[in-house]
Amino acid sequence: MSFPSDFVWGAATSSYQIEGAVHEGGRGDSIWDLFCRTPGAIYKGHNGFVACDHYHRYAEDADLLTGLGAQAYRFSIAWPRIQPTGVGPANQAGLDFYDRLVDALLARGIDPYVTLYHWDLPTALHYEGGWANPDIPQQFGEYTTHVAKKLGDRVKNWMTHNEPQCSIYLGCGAGVHAPGWKRPFEELRVMARNVLLSHGYSTLALKAEIPGCKVGMAPVGQTCIPASRSAEDIAAAKHQMLGIRPDSLWEMPLWLDPIVFGEYREDVLRDPVAVPHLSEADLKVIHQPMDFLGLNIYSAPIIKAGEGGKPATLDDSIDDPLTAFRWLVRPESLYWGPKISHERYGLPIYITENGLSNVDWVGLDGKVQDPQRIDFTRRYLTELGRAVDDGVPVEGYFHWSLLDNFEWAEGYKERFGLIHVDFTTGTRTPKQSYHWYREVIASNGESLRADPSTVV
Ligand code: GCO
């Protein structure tokens, strides 16, 4: 296991989960503010109105990234800070906040990786139909231009969308995320088409404003692990991971095939109505060169070849380790996810999110002990190292998350941070895993080889 010398080590967050200050600096309302005001929508009525107060504490957070030795930081821009109603001229105070943040990072030698949409849609656009509105793709392009004009001289790595599977399916189909809609699948497919078009317009805007910039996207890295190294099990796992099922938006090809290939390839189409209808003109906009693929990977099912080679999911064992969120710990997802995705799309890969929620608190000694996070990350990074050794071009890894933060419908119940946040006082306490990860970064992954029993 040996990571390339220019491998990028970092941590990730998103705007709504950490910023707070939802009514400051001219920021408009977002669908997550609206959802947080909806009785019963969020665990114990929590909300993101203050969150980690990062809007005011961004310099302290940049210092914490320095303390970690992070080389890069992935964060997202809140559209309603830039355009309070989602359209029209830019709000200067909103742009200035991200300008200060980018400067704070660069002054510390930390490279910003910016996501343009991590789910905080301006409420005004939601009332116009949200992602179902045929105007939204071009509006997203115009928003992108405002951001690119301001930050493009310093930010070189961009992601258009984060996990469109969640913003569309969880938000507009299952109704468990903002805006809480339960729309039928035909409508979700229309929204998916608009997201794809918006990615196209956004990419065009970035490339026009920022020569030489790199543009990617960070979908849910829906991954499957083969039950064995047999050719049959591997084929079954790939089939399961890549085939698009009816009434599902989760599979990566649904989002990536039209972007990367300019069409849906036959091998993933099990049911032609399962994908958004895209005209030739749509595909012209959507099919833009993509520079890298971001993968958000947390867990994965284990798949074997069942009857006639058909994919069959192995039952979980009572001994399978689980995170606090009760997600299965499946380190090999960080081997197979990058490997299979790269085989299909041929793009350089970043792990744009990976991590776990854990039951962390500040001990009597003032320290936060989180051995599970260390063990989890060691296992996952070791598998990622194996993918690198196999020749998969993985360029970087962003741990989710830098800080404990607002975990969407779960409120503050799930703690994903390398840094503990006391949400009453705002006090940050780096966890044991923060110090451990610092060693991983400083040694470019060499410290992962140490005998686990001798660590920390
Ligand atoms: C997502 C988002 C993050 C989450 C993280 C843990 O994957 O849902 O990108 O915002 O907080 O994944 O659930």
Atom of ligand 1 nearest to the CA of 400: 5
Ligand 1 contact via 162 beta carbon (within 6 Å): yes
CATH fit for domain 8-454, picks 3.40.640.10, 3.20.20.80, 3.40.80.10, 3.90.1150.10: 3.20.20.80
Average pLDDT, the chain: 97
Residues 145, 165: Cα–Cα separation, whole Å: 24
pLDDT band at 269 (very low <50, low <70, confident <90, very high): confident
Query: Ligand 1 centre and the CA of 400: distance in Å?
Result: 8
Q: Which two tokens stand for residue 148?
A: 């690119």
Ligand 1 pocket mutation pick from 400, 401, 416, 421 by most atoms within 8 angstroms of CB: 400
Ligand 1 centroid, distance to 199 Cα (angstroms): 20
CA distance 45 to 30: 17
Query: Would the CB of 370 count as within 6 Å of ligand 1?
Result: no
> What is the per-residue pLDDT across 179-229, written as a single tens digit (0 to 9) for each?
999 999 999 999 999 999 999 999 999 999 999 999 999 999 889 999 999
Ligand 1 atom having least distance to the Cα of 119: 10
pLDDT at site 113: 99
Atom of ligand 1 minimally distant from the CA of 296: 7
Ligand 1 centroid vs 405 CA: distance in angstroms?
A: 10
302 torsion bin: left (phi>0), alpha (psi -120 to 50), beta (else): beta
Q: Whose CA is nearest to atom 10 of ligand 1?
A: 14
Cα separation, 220 vs 296, in Å, equals 5
400 lines ligand 1 (CB under 6 A): yes
| Res 456: pLDDT | 54
Q: Residue 113 belongs to what H/E stretch?
A: strand 111-117
pLDDT in tens, 293-351: 999 999 999 999 999 999 999 999 999 999 999 999 999 999 999 999 999 999 999 99
**What tokens does 283 get?**
């595909």
Contact 374, 456 (CB under 8 A): yes
> Residue 106 is which amino acid?
L
Q: Where exactly are the structural domains of the chain? A: 8-454
